[in-house]
């Protein structure tokens, strides 16, 4: 896969950038880094350590895991932007084809070269991956886990399906597009809905905080898994395309 990425980059770098543009970009990046360094130096140390601050408000977060409490309650705006960034990356590599929009999301075909050992192994492994992904999602409220871990593991199951050669994914299908946006959409809907009771976006009511966080994590898990599989498909170069790039 990394060889495919290198070939694609070599093909894209033929156009190149002028020395002046590179100098301006480097200058801007350097100035931003200097600004961040001075901002960190001049920032005063908080009277109460962050660990103690999170621990003192953990009961109001709706979960028992401090990491989940920070990511989806105390720092929910940051996590919302992270999901939005993932969606932007997915849109950047999204295949554009109107002809495939009416086709199924997952298609099954017979591979040219079959591996009976791999097929038998996947029959046992894939259900275990799906169950483990659900466990990581559920246990994220009290133990290490959550949407990002569960989504990455679920994406691994999809990639194994692709590598086995039996299945292919059509990300122009309606279901695929729904999966790509459902995480951000649910996050925004929950954030807007709680304004009615709390008056602040993404400020969950204490009684409903745990349930709302779980709803957001379920939707985010599906979106993260779909985006990771999409990125793998976009970086996977077919043998014929690989030869054309090498030329």
* Cβ count within 10 A of residue 11: 14
Average confidence (pLDDT) over 152-178: 85
Predicted model pTM: 0.75
169 phi/psi in degrees, rounded to 5: -110, 135
pLDDT above 80 (res 115)? no
Judge contact between 167 and 108, C-beta under 8 A.
yes
What residue segments make up the domains of the chain, in order of their start? 63-246
**Whether residue 112 has pLDDT greater than 70:** no
| Sign, Cα dihedral of 229, 231, 235, 237 | positive
Separation CA 200–CA 196 (nearest Å): 8
Q: Dihedral of CA 211/175/93/113: which sign? A: positive
CA 226, 230, 232 angle in degrees (round to 5)?
A: 120
Least confident residue range of 6-10, 150-154, 159-163, 216-220: 6-10
Of all residues in the chain, the percent with pLDDT exceeding 90 is: 29
Please give the average per-residue pLDDT across 141-154, as a whole number.
89
Q: Are 181 and 171 in contact (CB under 8 A)?
A: no
Compute φ and ψ for 139, nearest 5 degrees: -75, -10
């Amino acid at each position: 896969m990394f060889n495919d990425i290198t070939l694609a980059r070599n093909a894209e770098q033929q156009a190149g950038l002028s020395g002046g543009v590179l100098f301006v970009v480097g200058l801007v990046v350097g100035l931003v880094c200097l600004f961040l360094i001075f901002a960190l130096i001049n920032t005063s140390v908080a009277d109460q350590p962050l660990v103690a601050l999170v621990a003192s408000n953990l009961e109001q977060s709706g979960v028992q895991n401090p990491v989940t409490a920070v990511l989806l309650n105390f720092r929910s705006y940051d996590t919302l932007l992270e999901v939005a960034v993932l969606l932007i990356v997915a849109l950047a590599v999204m295949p554009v084809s109107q002809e495939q929009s009416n086709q199924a999301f997952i298609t099954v075909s017979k591979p040219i070269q079959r591996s009976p050992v791999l097929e038998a192994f996947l029959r046992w492994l894939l259900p275990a991956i799906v169950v483990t992904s659900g466990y990581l999602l559920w246990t994220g409220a009290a133990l290490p886990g959550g949407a990002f871990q569960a989504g990455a593991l679920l994406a691994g199951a999809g990639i194994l399906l692709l590598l086995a050669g039996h299945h292919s994914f059509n990300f122009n299908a309606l279901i695929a597009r729904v999966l790509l946006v459902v995480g951000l959409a649910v996050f925004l809907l929950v954030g807007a809905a709680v304004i009615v009771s709390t008056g602040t976006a993404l400020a969950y009511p204490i009684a409903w905080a745990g349930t709302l966080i779980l709803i957001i994590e379920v939707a985010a898990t599906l979106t993260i898994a779909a985006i990771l599989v999409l990125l793998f498909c976009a970086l996977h170069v077919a043998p014929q395309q690989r030869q054309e790039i090498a030329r």
